[in-house]
């Protein structure tokens, strides 16, 4: 464990070292390539004056609410498409089609429908999450060996009990990968939307990034990018990694 | 046609199947899985159903379990028609149908939680008792994937026994195991059966296994699935699958089985 930490720390220290070397070599203007120290100074000052916290809060809130809504709607719809042919032929086909649509493509529509508001952002995030989650749930439920529900039925399980105690847990590995994919899509579409357009109800990280470009403040651009990466990592480590560890331990699949 | 108890008098009849038939229809196939099957099974009896694959023996088990319904005829347990699955008739499958998202203990508790009127400590006590009975109590916190094939079938056995069913339906439960592990389980199942006196209907295509375990061996033939012949096995318990007496029975039954399988192919 300690060895793994050491390797990881060493690797990132080397990356920062290379960055610093590139800056020292003065191949590019400092305007285009600020030093690690400059970026750190930006991050520090923006934490101090509150802009970074505020933007992070706005973005993460949009993401969590939109993602939560996507799961709340997508999970039951996925169960539905896996259970009935009519819903597979309708909702299933719709989900399959819309999943291929890059979620950024929802941004123009969302802006026209909802204006430059919070709702537009939520809509984009939900659209990014929903379809891939429906498809993952559907695939997961279909892949369950039928013997599980037969065994459960033989023991007297039926209806809702079978769904909650057999089908959903059996589909968990697929649900998790669907939720991860949904998360990635939601994150990407929200960033695109925030960079693309100013939302009057709150400045997110995407806006900070956008203004960094407008002001040619490269330290801000890189600093905000780092924050976005950190949030992604943190979510993966706190939200998904524990579930994945549980899956590996229980199912006995290879360690990821 | 008498409709009361068969061979063994005085013992109440547990399961009664009268003129049962069952078809399977898919877009391309129309198969009669069972044709006019009549079978009476006494309480506490160990009956083995033997036959080549496709002779409808698993279908019969599903009908008794209530997982499927007959197209013709009646299936009754304790004089009542079977209308669906119930905790009195539990099924044990060939592949370990254990749930990988639960621990060994969790799997055994699954069926117990569906039995009404048991408190949590009672459930736990029963689960531990039956895991002890199959010799796996110290593995109760293990994950399913950590167990060998034989251990998994033992857990499956404990899971089926725990809700205290009066009928145990076993669909080639040892089919996927190696010979040595199977022999151990023959011993276990006979011991448990003699202690707990369940009615057991056991499906297999292994004649020796059927002779080793059954009070009666019922021979099925395929296309459509019918009962061909019936053999009583009056050998004393507990039986050793390698014994000479047992071999004599299984040779005889195998000979009959081969006879009509060949006729089937020739005709």
Compute the count of residue pairs across chains A and B with CB atoms less than 8 Å apart. Answer: 69
Interface probe, candidates A143, A144, A149, A151, chain B, greatest B C-beta count within 10 A: A151
Is the domain of B174 the same as that of B249? Answer: yes
Task: Tabulate helix, strand, coil % of chain B (nearest 5).
Answer: 35, 25, 35
Cα dist. A150→A251, B60, B66, B235 in Å? 20, 15, 11, 35
**pLDDT of A253:** 74
Nearest to B114 among A156, A172, A250 (CB): A156
ipTM over 0.85: no
| Same domain, residue pair B106 and B233 | no
B2 within some domain: no
Q: How many residues in total does chain B contain? A: 267
Which of B164, B181, B214 is where one domain is finished? Answer: B164
Distance from CA of A3 to the nearest CA of B (A): 28
For residues B102 and B219, membership in a common domain is answered with no
Beta carbons of B97 and A148 less than 8 Å apart: yes
Token representation of residue A99: 């999943």
pLDDT for the residue numbered B112: 92
Mean per-residue pLDDT, A200-223: 88
In a domain? residue B3: no
For residues B175 and B75, membership in a common domain is answered with yes
Q: How far, in Å, CA of B253 to CA of A216, rounded?
A: 90
**CATH class held by domain A35-251:** mainly alpha
CB contact under 8 A, B87 and A152: no
pLDDT in tens, A170-182: 999 888 988 888 8
Would you say B21 and B35 are in contact if contact means Cβ atoms under 8 Å apart?
yes
> Are B133 and B217 in a shared domain?
no
Evaluate whether residue B140 is within a structural domain. Answer: yes
Residue A41 contacts B, CB cutoff 8 Å? no
Task: Decide which of B148, B164, B180 is a domain's last residue.
Answer: B164
B103 in the same domain as B82: no
Q: Is residue B113 part of a domain?
A: yes
Distances from the Cα of A139 to the Cα of A71, A81, A135, angstroms: 15, 10, 6
Q: How far apart are CA B195 and CA B214, in angstroms?
A: 16
* DSSP string of A182-246, one letter each residue: HHHHHHHHHHHHHHHS--TT---HHHHHHHHHHTT-HHHHHHHHHHHHHHHHHHIIIIIHHHHHH
Q: Is B222 found in the same domain as B102?
A: no
Starting at the edge strand that comes first in sequence, how are the strands of the sheet with B30-42 ordered? B30-42, B13-25, B72-77, B80-81
A119: CB partners within 8 A, 6+ apart: none
B22 and B83 part of one domain: yes
A150 with B67: Cβ contact below 8 A: yes
pLDDT level of residue B265 (50, 70, 90 thresholds)? low
User: Each residue of A9-48: pLDDT tens digit?
Assistant: 999 999 999 999 999 998 888 888 999 999 999 999 999 9
**B175 and B156, same domain (yes or no):** no
Q: How many residues in chain A?
A: 256
Residue A15 φ then ψ, to 5°? -60, -45
> What chain A residue is nearest to B147 in terms of C-alpha separation?
A252
Q: For residue B65, list chain A residues with Cβ-Cβ distance below 8 A.
A: 154
- Kindly list the distances between the CA atom of residue A93 and the CA atoms of A130, A149, A184, B59, in Å, as whole numbers in the listed order: 13, 26, 22, 35
What is the C-alpha end-to-end distance of chain A, expressed in Å?
Answer: 15
Instruction: Give the residue from chain B lying closest to A161, CA to CA.
Output: B114
Contact at 8 Å (CB) between A103 and A127? yes
**Record: contact A150-B93, CB cut-off 8 A:** yes
Enumerate the β-bridge partners of residue B75.
Answer: B17
Cβ contacts of A144 on chain B, cutoff 8 Å: none
Nearest chain B Cα to A153, which residue? B85
Min Cα–Cα distance to chain B from A155, Å: 5
Cα torsion B190, A151, B94, A169 to 10°: value is -120
Q: Which residues of B touch A172 (CB under 8 A)?
A: 101
Q: What is the pLDDT of residues B81-106, one digit of tens each?
A: 998 888 889 999 877 789 999 999 99
CB B53 within 8 A of CB B19: no
Of B93, B101, B163, the CB nearest to A151: B93
Please tell me the total count of domains within chain B: 2
Give the pLDDT confidence of B29-49 residue by residue, as tens digits. Answer: 788 889 999 999 999 999 999
In degrees, rounded to 5, the angle at the alpha carbon of residue A91 between the alpha carbons of residues A89 and A94 is 95
- Sequence ranges of the domains in chain A: 35-251
Cis omega (within 30 of 0) on the bond before B80? no
For residue B93, tell me if it sits in a domain: no
B266 has a pLDDT exceeding 90: no
The owner of tokens 């309480």 is B43
Question: Please, are residues A199 and A117 in contact by the beta-carbon 8 Å criterion?
Answer: yes
B3, pLDDT greater than 70: no
Same structural domain for residues B236 and B126?
no
d(CA A255, CA A63): 29
Per DSSP, helices labelled H in chain B are 57-65, 104-113, 120-133, 149-161, 179-196, 207-213, 244-266
* In a shared domain, residues B186 and B253: yes
**pLDDT at residue B6 greater than cutoff 90:** no
- Please tell me the pTM assigned to this model: 0.81
Q: Does some domain include residue B102?
A: yes
> Is B178 contained in some domain?
yes
Do B158 and B172 lie in one domain? The reply is: no
Q: For B222-256, how does the pLDDT look when each residue is reduced to its tens digit (9 = 90+)?
A: 888 889 899 999 999 889 898 999 999 999 999 98
pLDDT at A256: 40
Residue ranges making up the domain that contains B122: 98-164
Whole-number Å distance between alpha carbons of A66 and A125: 5
In a mutational test of the A interface, the residue from B66, B85, B91 whose CB has the highest number of chain A CBs within 10 Å is B85
């Amino acid at each position: 464990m300690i060895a793994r930490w050491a390797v990881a720390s060493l690797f990132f220290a080397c990356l920062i070292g290379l960055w610093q070397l590139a800056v020292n070599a003065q191949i590019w203007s400092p305007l285009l390539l600020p030093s690690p120290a400059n970026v750190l100074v930006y991050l520090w000052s923006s934490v101090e004056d509150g802009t970074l916290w505020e933007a992070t809060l706005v973005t993460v809130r949009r993401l969590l609410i939109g993602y939560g809504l996507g799961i709340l709607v997508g999970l039951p719809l996925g169960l539905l498409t896996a259970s009935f042919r009519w819903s597979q032929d309708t909702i299933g086909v719709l989900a399959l089609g819309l999943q291929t649509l890059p979620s950024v493509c929802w941004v123009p529509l969302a802006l026209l429908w909802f204006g430059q508001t919070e709702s537009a952002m939520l809509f984009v995030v939900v659209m990014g999450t929903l379809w891939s989650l429906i498809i993952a749930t559907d695939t997961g439920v279909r892949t369950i060996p039928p013997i599980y529900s037969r065994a459960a039925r033989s023991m007297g399980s039926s209806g809702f009990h079978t769904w909650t105690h057999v089908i959903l847990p059996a589909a968990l590995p697929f649900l998790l990968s669907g939720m991860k994919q949904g998360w990635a899509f939601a994150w990407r579409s929200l960033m695109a939307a925030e960079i693309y357009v100013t939302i009057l109800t709150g400045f997110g990280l995407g806006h900070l990034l956008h203004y960094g470009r407008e002001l040619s403040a490269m330290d801000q651009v890189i600093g905000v990018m780092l924050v976005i990466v950190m949030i992604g990592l943190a979510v993966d480590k706190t939200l998904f990694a524990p579930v994945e560890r549980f899956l590996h331990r229980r199912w006995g699949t290879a360690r990821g | 046609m008498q409709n009361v108890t068969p061979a063994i008098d005085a013992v109440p009849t547990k399961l009664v199947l009268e003129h049962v038939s069952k078809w399977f229809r898919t877009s391309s196939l129309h198969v009669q899985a069972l044709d006019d099957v009549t079978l009476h099974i006494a309480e506490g009896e160990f009956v083995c159903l033997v036959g080549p694959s496709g002779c409808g023996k698993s279908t019969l088990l599903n009908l008794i379990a209530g997982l499927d319904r007959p197209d013709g005829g009646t299936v009754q347990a304790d004089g009542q028609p079977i209308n669906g699955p119930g905790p009195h008739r539990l099924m044990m499958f060939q592949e370990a149908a254990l749930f990988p998202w639960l621990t060994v203990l969790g799997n055994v508790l699954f069926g117990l939680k569906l039995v009404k009127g048991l408190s949590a400590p009672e459930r736990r006590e029963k689960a531990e008792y039956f895991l002890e009975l199959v010799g796996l109590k110290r593995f109760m916190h293990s994950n399913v994937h950590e167990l060998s094939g034989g251990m998994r079938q033992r857990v499956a056995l404990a899971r089926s026994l725990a809700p205290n069913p009066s009928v145990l339906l076993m669909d080639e439960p040892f089919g996927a195991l190696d010979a040595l592990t199977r022999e151990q389980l023959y011993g276990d199942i006979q011991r448990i059966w003699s202690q707990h006196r369940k009615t057991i209907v056991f499906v297999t295509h292994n004649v020796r296994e059927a002779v080793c375990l059954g009070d009666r061996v019922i021979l099925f033939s395929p296309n459509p699935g019918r009962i061909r012949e019936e053999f009583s096995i009056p050998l004393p318990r507990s039986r050793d699958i390698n014994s000479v007496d047992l071999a004599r029975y299984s040779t005889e039954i195998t000979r009959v089985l081969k006879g009509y399988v060949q006729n089937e192919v020739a005709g």
